[in-house]
Amino acid sequence: MEQGYHIPVLLKESVDGLNIKPDGVYVDLTFGGGGHSKEILSRLNEQGKLIVFDQDNDAYQNRPNDERLYFVRHNFQYLSHFLKYLGVDQVDGILGDLGVSSHHFDAADRGFSFRFDGKLDMRMGQGLTVTAADIVNTYAIEDMKRIFWQYGEIKSSFKLASEIAKERADKPFVTTTDLKLLAEKIGPKKEQSKFLAQVFQALRIEVNKEMDVLKSVLMQSASVIKPGGRLSVISYHSLEDRLVKNFVRSGDCDKNQADKDLFGNSDVPFKAVNRKIIIPNEKEIEMNNRARSAKLRIAERL
């Protein structure tokens, strides 16, 4: 397995949260560089199984040679489908590290980062059809405004969308630098890096339909995790964390509280294992700056 491909965040805490049975069946929704998967495999015996998902070809090429591991080269939104395909009714636990891998951010040609000049792409899987360039070159101003506001929490979302529309009328956006130069004119000078990160985050979420995919897999987890099994999810921004928190509390990603019957009882599929979110300590953040925004929630299937 390639070293340095991606530094796993909250490695011990997230895998400990699965409460692993040596002969159990587990799922890693986001294989990436394989750090979490490697740790899970180290805790399984010969009867244990690990099913990993990643639609990215680079991640597939980085997989370990281990008979206990089954690699699914598709988006994890197809979790239930592929478990049935593999003859697996239910699993003992699911781990999801929702962050974009360091490899993606550091690969200029993937277009995830404004730090490099590359194609304005941002697709996590090369099979996806819509790129970030397609969005900024073809979406209506109102649609771009919604994306920047909803997924980037950008206050000047209308101004940004309008300026993009003006710019593309003369010359289409092709590279990350094209977008960076335009966004730098809109964002506050004192928080330029933060603003650029918000712009790129919003487009990445739209390109990969990340919120819809997360909602889908959370809802599926209620039926594919065995009673007593665990769900361990690491998120990196408030939009993701809110969906996970709502789902654990209510069984519905869009509701903060569970519905109750006439007697005040609620029927929720999970209970929170950690009442407070788990975050990286100072030492981990110092070693891996990308861990600074990570939040871990662990839940147990009832």
The CATH code for residues 11-102+213-301 is: 3.40.50.150
The 10s digit of each residue's pLDDT in 234-284 is: 999 999 999 999 999 999 999 999 988 778 788 899 999 998 999 999 999
Q: Tell me the CATH architecture of domain 110-208.
A: Orthogonal Bundle (1.10)
Residue 5 predicted with pLDDT over 60: no
pLDDT-derived band at 100 (thresholds 50, 70, 90) equals confident
Neighbouring CB atoms inside 10 A of 244's CB total 23
pLDDT, mean of residues 16-39: 96
Residue 25 CA to residue 91 CA, distance in Å, equals 5
The counts of H helices and E strands in the chain are: 13, 7
pLDDT given for residue 1 in this prediction: 43
pLDDT for 171 equals 97
217-234: per-residue pLDDT in tens?
Answer: 999 999 999 999 999 999
- Find where tokens 């662990």 sit: 298
Domain spans in the chain, listed from the N-terminal domain onward: 11-102+213-301, 110-208
Query: Which two structure tokens, joined as six digits, stand for 84?
Result: 């049935």
- Residue 39 CB partners (closer than 8 Å, separation 6+): 8, 11, 12, 15
List, for residues 186-206, the tens digit of each pLDDT value.
999 999 999 999 999 999 999
pTM passes above 0.75: yes
